[in-house]
């Protein structure tokens, strides 16, 4: 084989090695705008990877499906996960924090002071909330026959404002964003009460390869130091 052909082969191998198939959850603006390749979370992951010479190839699916795909080797990594999520992988440094709250219509006048108080109510949450929001929440979820998880974030807005569910677990900005998409279907002008039962949830990237994890962490540190991370946040400040 000619030397130039060997060089091209090595170059192609390096390009493939520096490409990561990353699974992102379904549409959850402003963090992930599915199909648009943008969002706070998406932009941070792509920027950190790019800073370390890695190209991200995104894949969108419900979180449960992404975890199965990762376990089968169909993905190189998963976004919006964390060590407590039960996925065997190499975890990056936290790159984003979600602010999850319990939410109910104010007219219901509930007294919810602890996670255990949710056991008295019908609850809808996002997929894998039961393992991502801590042990106390998991115990409540497993013991509550009226607890369910939804793949589509927008569904919880419909359940909440229609009164079909008593309490939803949602990220503040995601809930507010989807109000603009469901206002013709339900009355989103109804006052709601937020119950701050959870501390901010730090999320990590779960990667199959340790060296790629290390490179991503370095890229994340680089975009924080350069100010690019803050600029990404600024772009989505309106949400």
Span 101-148, pLDDT tens digits: 999 999 999 999 999 999 999 999 999 999 999 999 999 999 999 999
- On the question of a common fold for 7-97+201-235 and 100-195, the answer reads yes
Could you state, in chain order, the average pLDDT of each consecutive group of 10 residues for the chain (239 residues)? 45 59 95 94 98 97 94 96 86 97 98 98 96 95 97 95 98 96 97 97 96 98 98 94
- Please give the pLDDT value at position 36: 92
The domain defined by 100-195 folds into D-Maltodextrin-Binding Protein; domain 2 (3.40.190)
Q: With contact defined as beta carbons under 8 Å apart, do 132 and 198 qualify? A: no
- Please give the pLDDT value at position 9: 44
- Please give the pLDDT value at position 35: 86
Please tell me whether the peptide bond between 30 and the residue prior to it is cis, using omega within 30 degrees of 0: yes
Residue 27 C-beta-side C-alpha neighbours within 13 Å: 9
Question: Among 3.30.565.40, 3.10.150.10, 3.30.360.10, 3.40.190.10, what is the CATH number of 7-97+201-235?
Answer: 3.40.190.10
Break the chain into its structural domains and give their ranges. Answer: 7-97+201-235, 100-195
Q: pTM for the full model? A: 0.87
Query: How many helices (H) and strands (E) are present in the chain, helices listed first?
Result: 9, 11
């Amino acid at each position: 084989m000619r030397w130039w052909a060997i060089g091209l082969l090595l170059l192609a191998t390096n390009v493939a090695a520096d490409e990561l198939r990353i699974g992102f959850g379904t549409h959850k603006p402003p963090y992930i705008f599915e199909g648009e390749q943008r969002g706070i979370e998406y932009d941070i992951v792509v920027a950190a990877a790019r800073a370390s010479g890695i190209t991200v190839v995104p894949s969108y699916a419900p979180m449960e499906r992404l975890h199965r795909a990762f376990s089968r080797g169909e993905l190189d990594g998963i976004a919006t996960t964390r060590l407590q999520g039960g996925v065997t992988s190499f975890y990056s440094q936290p790159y984003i924090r979600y602010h999850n709250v319990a939410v109910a219509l104010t007219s219901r006048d509930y007294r919810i002071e602890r996670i255990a108080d949710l056991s008295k109510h019908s609850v809808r949450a996002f997929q894998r909330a039961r393992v991502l929001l801590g042990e106390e929440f998991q115990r409540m979820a497993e013991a509550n026959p009226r607890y369910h998880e939804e793949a589509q974030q927008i569904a919880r807005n419909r359940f909440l404002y229609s009164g079909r569910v008593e309490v939803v677990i949602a990220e503040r900005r995601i809930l507010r964003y989807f109000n603009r998409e469901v206002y013709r279907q339900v009355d989103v002008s109804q006052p709601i009460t937020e119950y701050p039962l959870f501390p901010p949830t730090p999320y990590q990237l779960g990667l199959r390869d340790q060296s790629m994890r290390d490179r991503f962490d370095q890229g994340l540190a680089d975009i924080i130091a350069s100010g690019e991370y803050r600029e990404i946040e600024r772009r989505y400040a309106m949400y």
